[in-house]
Amino acid sequence: MLKIWSMKQQQQKSDAASGQSKKKKVTAAQLRVQKDLSELSLGTTMTTHFPNPDDILNFTLTLTPDEGLYKSGIFTFTFAISQNFPHEPPKVKCKEKIYHPNIDLEGNVCLNILREDWKPVLNLNAVIVGLQFLFLEPNAQDPLNKDAANDLQQDRDRFRRNVRSAMGGGSVRGESFDRVMK
Amino acid sequence: MQPEALAPAMNGEGTDRPRWKYMDRILSRPGGYTDEDYDPDTPANNIEAAKILVIGAGGLGCEILKNFALSGFKNIDVIDMDTIDVSNLNRQFLFRQKDVGKSKASVAAEFVMKRVPGCKINAHICKIQDMDEDYYMQFTIVVCGLDSIEARRWMNATLVGMVDMENPDSLKPLIDGGTEGFKGQSRVIFPTMTSCIECQLDMHAPRAAVPLCTLATIPRQPQHCIEWAHIIKWDEERKDIQLDTDDPEHITWLYQTALARAQEFGIAGVTYSMTQGVVKNIIPAIASTNAIIAASCCNEAFKIVTSSAPFLGNPEQNNYMLYTGDSGVYTYTFEHQKKDDCPVCGNLPKDLPVNPQSTLGELVESFAERPESQLKKPNMRTEEKTLFYSAPESLRQQTEGNLKRKLGEMLVDGEEVAVSDPAFTIDFRYKIRFS
């Protein structure tokens, strides 16, 4: 053991570690989220909100698409990031009940990088771009809301009408949706 | 020592340590791998004096505790917050049917102490996060037999943070064992010196996940039906109840829900135990894998404590041994290199002398001027507080008020501040020193 220590002393460079401290250290997950937040490019259609600014692991993202079928809607997603980030993906849910082929009535989102294709090299920006893409290009191949996916596949006009009425707080096939219009 | 002086010890004659007769024989003389100045008395003394911390008293932990006790280690602490489940009994051999429901740490400690008199094991029924640095400082070596990446990362970061150049005892070798089915690894880490758990994070296989839409629409396997009940149906129907994977009623509900779905899609094979396995992400544990990995971990600890033979990471650089037993028996030992940008050991915090009367704004400006950083859009925080974030905009607005506040109000002496900036791939970490 003494030998190891003398190696450590040799390895020590003049500028390296300072003395110990009993104070809590910024966790690896916090450090990574801080980095990701510094690199976020939100554009004009997205804003973040931190209910407790000291807790950067829990926040909401508000998305207001300015084109596509969901234009003028306001959609809120909760982000819950665990201390296991980035080994585990963030948990993302849509707060409103919306009519969307890839989002179910409970707010679960079918986005590959939030589950099976998550890799630690991906960052929060990738997730946010992915969410944005879901509103520009809802896709019928990965349905979480089967009715909505069928509508989209069979009759794009009917799907468009359903999206508009659901966003206005109306109901589609007896299922009522939250009003999300600006 | 002359050969004739060695003879009685080698025969175990006149020794009151018959249990360790053969080990003493090996240790009491120099060998091909020992140092030139190897003193045959030291190893046994070192073993008696060493304080070992074993984290986890499960599959690996039972093996590790047994191995240490039978190698003559006398001071062992074990931490485990878990209780014994009936499904542990096939391989966690320190537990019996009557122990089901009791603490793993306590039962394991008592069992080993009974079988190996003179060995003292302190059991702690808690999370590792409940213990502070003073507690960890007392040990010679820390050995992990864990199934959680989160706990490993915490322990690793704690040990890296404890290294203090003024105090040789602050460097605690970390030996980490892990198994998954027929595969396993053991690795030795000298915190701040060699590649750490965080550097090696990509060595952990990610949890296999099935696309949510497959679960929701076209399940093909019984596991899909269980995941559907777990992830989608539970929230739909029992939103207000927090799922407890140890509650038999909850598992039964998931099982029945999954079974109904499986029948609807004509899928066979959903069982109660499969439900438990999928929901708790249980990977079948193999007793022999645990035994092999635990043996390797204890062997490394033994070599480090006694200096009797080279160990992983010294003098060779190889610090990682992987084992596969699913197609033949194979081990491979290699060097996992330290990462320069490792968030835990890559850039250790530097002392930053500041005046407690100066403001956070002044500190941010000084960062912009510091030659090594020249930060333009910094985000900075402590473990507890978000100090100032340049981005995203909402956090900037929430934190810009702090710029006028005095450092003395927001920070305590010795606290760590982490600074990130989009212009730099690495983060900067400073330890605040009030002057």
The beta strand positions in A111-169, using DSSP E, are: none
> What's the length of chain B?
435
Please report the pLDDT score of residue B342 as a whole number.
86
Among B residues 297-336, those touching chain A with beta carbons less than 8 Å apart: 304-305, 307, 314
Please report the pLDDT score of residue B126 as a whole number.
96
- The contacts of residue B148 (CB under 8 Å, 6+ apart) are none
Instruction: Out of B20-29, B189-198, B277-286, give the one with best mean pLDDT.
Output: B189-198
Instruction: With beta carbons less than 8 A apart as the criterion, state whether B232 and B284 touch.
Output: no
> Is the pLDDT score of A44 beyond 50?
yes
- Mean pLDDT over B371-400 rounds to 88
A-chain residues near B391 (CB < 8 A):
37-40
Is the model more confident about B356 or about B283? Answer: B356
What the block records as the tokens of A127 is: 């997730």
Complete DSSP assignment for B35-59? -TT--TTHHHHHHHH-EEEEE--SH
Distance from CA of B114 to the nearest CA of A (A): 31
Instruction: With beta carbons less than 8 A apart as the criterion, state whether B286 and B324 touch.
Output: no
Q: How far apart are CA B153 and CA B381, in angstroms?
A: 20
- Mean pLDDT over B56-71 rounds to 97
Distances (CA, A) of B395 to A38, B86, B261, B391, B418: 10, 49, 45, 6, 16
Q: How far apart are CA A138 and CA A150, in angstroms?
A: 12
A-chain residues near B429 (CB < 8 A):
26
- Mean pLDDT over B327-344 rounds to 91
A-chain residues near B390 (CB < 8 A):
38
> Is the pLDDT score of B10 beyond 70?
no
Please report the pLDDT score of residue B12 as a whole number.
44
Please state whether the peptide bond connecting residue B378 to the residue before it is cis, i.e. omega within 30 degrees of 0: no
> Is the pLDDT score of B49 beyond 50?
yes
Q: How far apart are CA A75 and CA A46, in angstroms?
A: 10
Q: Edge-to-edge, what's the strand order for the sheet holding B416-420?
A: B350-354, B428-434, B416-420, B379-381, B386-389
Which amino acid makes up residue B51? Answer: K
Please report the pLDDT score of residue A117 as a whole number.
92
Among B residues 108-147, those touching chain A with beta carbons less than 8 Å apart: 132-134, 140
**What are the pLDDT digits (tens) for B158-167?**
999 899 888 8
Is the model more confident about A95 or about B25? Answer: A95
> Is the pLDDT score of A2 beyond 70?
no
Instruction: With beta carbons less than 8 A apart as the criterion, state whether B183 and B289 touch.
Output: yes
Please report the pLDDT score of residue B372 as a whole number.
61
What the block records as the tokens of B407 is: 């450092």
Q: How many helices (H) and strands (E) does chain A have?
A: 5, 6
The DSSP code for A27 is P
Please report the pLDDT score of residue A14 as a whole number.
42
Please report the pLDDT score of residue A68 as a whole number.
93
3-class DSSP assignment, residue B79: strand
3-class DSSP assignment, residue B127: coil
Q: B108 φ, ψ to 5°?
A: -60, -45
**What are the pLDDT digits (tens) for B118-146?**
999 999 999 999 999 999 999 999 999 99
Instruction: With beta carbons less than 8 A apart as the criterion, state whether A14 and A40 touch.
Output: no
Q: How far apart are CA A104 and CA A145, in angstroms?
A: 5
Instruction: With beta carbons less than 8 A apart as the criterion, state whether B289 and B184 touch.
Output: yes
B-chain residues near A119 (CB < 8 A):
206
> Is the pLDDT score of A178 beyond 80?
yes
A-chain residues near B386 (CB < 8 A):
50, 53-54, 56
Please report the pLDDT score of residue B259 as a whole number.
96
Instruction: With beta carbons less than 8 A apart as the criterion, state whether A40 and A56 touch.
Output: no
**What are the pLDDT digits (tens) for B216-227?**
888 999 999 999
- Mean pLDDT over B69-84 rounds to 96
Please report the pLDDT score of residue B213 as a whole number.
83
| Cα end-to-end distance, chain A, whole Å | 67
User: In this complex, do A31 and B202 lie within 8 Å of one another by their Cβ atoms?
Assistant: no
pLDDT band at B173 (very low <50, low <70, confident <90, very high): very high
Structural domains present in chain A: 27-176 (3.10.110.10)
Among A residues 5-44, those touching chain B with beta carbons less than 8 Å apart: 5, 7-9, 11-12, 15-28, 30-32, 34-35, 37-40, 42
Distances (CA, A) of A100 to A149, A161, A168, B190, B241: 8, 12, 14, 51, 26
pLDDT band at B93 (very low <50, low <70, confident <90, very high): very high
Q: How far apart are CA B243 and CA B250, in angstroms?
A: 7
B150–A contact, CB cutoff 8 A? yes
Q: How far apart are CA B101 and CA B248, in angstroms?
A: 14
Whether B62 sits among the annotated catalytic residues: the reply is no
Please report the pLDDT score of residue A106 as a whole number.
92
> Is the pLDDT score of A19 beyond 50?
no
User: In this complex, do B206 and A118 lie within 8 Å of one another by their Cβ atoms?
Assistant: yes
Please report the pLDDT score of residue B316 as a whole number.
84
Catalytic residue among B213, B225, B297, B342: B213
A51–B contact, CB cutoff 8 A? no
pLDDT band at B340 (very low <50, low <70, confident <90, very high): confident
- Mean pLDDT over B322-333 rounds to 94
Q: How far apart are CA B226 and CA B430, in angstroms?
A: 47
> Is the pLDDT score of A134 beyond 90?
yes
Geometric angle at alpha carbon B209, from B208 and B211, rounded to 5°:
150
In terms of CA atoms, which chain A residue is nearest residue B43?
Answer: A1
ipTM of this complex: 0.82
Torsion from C-alpha of A13, A16, A17, A19, nearest 10 degrees? 70
- The contacts of residue B248 (CB under 8 Å, 6+ apart) are none
Q: How far apart are CA A76 and CA B85, in angstroms?
A: 42
Of A17, A19, A116, the CB nearest to B192: A17
Question: CB neighbours (10 Å) of residue B11?
Answer: 11
Among A residues 123-182, those touching chain B with beta carbons less than 8 Å apart: 142-144, 146
In terms of CA atoms, which chain A residue is nearest residue B307?
Answer: A1
Q: What is the mean pLDDT of chain B?
A: 90
> Is the pLDDT score of A17 beyond 60?
no
Is the model more confident about A159 or about B428? Answer: A159
Of B165, B211, B418, the CB nearest to A116: B211
Q: How far apart are CA A51 and CA B257, in angstroms?
A: 36
B389–A contact, CB cutoff 8 A? yes
> What's the length of chain A?
182
- Identify the CA nearest to B141 among candidates B263, B53, B256: B53
Structural domains present in chain B: 46-204+285-334 (3.40.50.720), 212-279 (1.10.10.520), 350-434 (3.10.290.20)
CB pairs under 8 A between A and B: 206
Distance from CA of A57 to the nearest CA of B (A): 11
Q: What is the mean pLDDT of chain A?
A: 89
Please report the pLDDT score of residue B149 as a whole number.
86
Of B211, B314, B392, the CB nearest to A4: B314
In terms of CA atoms, which chain B residue is nearest residue A117?
Answer: B209
pLDDT band at B371 (very low <50, low <70, confident <90, very high): low
What the block records as the tokens of B228 is: 């559907």
What the block records as the tokens of B343 is: 């968030």
Complete DSSP assignment for A31-49? HHHHHHHHT---TTTEEEE
- Mean pLDDT over B345-366 rounds to 89
> Is the pLDDT score of B373 beyond 70?
no
A-chain residues near B410 (CB < 8 A):
none
Among B residues 173-212, those touching chain A with beta carbons less than 8 Å apart: 173, 190, 192-193, 198, 201-202, 204, 206-212
Q: Alpha carbon A61 to chain centroid distance?
A: 7
Give the residues across from A76 on adjacent strands.
A62
Instruction: Out of B30-34, B62-66, B201-205, B245-249, give the one with best mean pLDDT.
Output: B62-66
Please report the pLDDT score of residue B223 as a whole number.
94
User: In this complex, do A116 and B210 lie within 8 Å of one another by their Cβ atoms?
Assistant: yes
**What are the pLDDT digits (tens) for B189-209?**
999 999 999 999 888 777 778
Catalytic residue among A110, A152, A166, A180: A110
> Is the pLDDT score of B27 beyond 90?
no
pLDDT band at A23 (very low <50, low <70, confident <90, very high): low
The DSSP code for B81 is -
* Range in A9-18, B60-69, B385-394, B401-410 with the lowest mean pLDDT: A9-18
What the block records as the tokens of B133 is: 């640095």
Please report the pLDDT score of residue A154 as a whole number.
94
Distance from CA of A68 to the nearest CA of B (A): 23
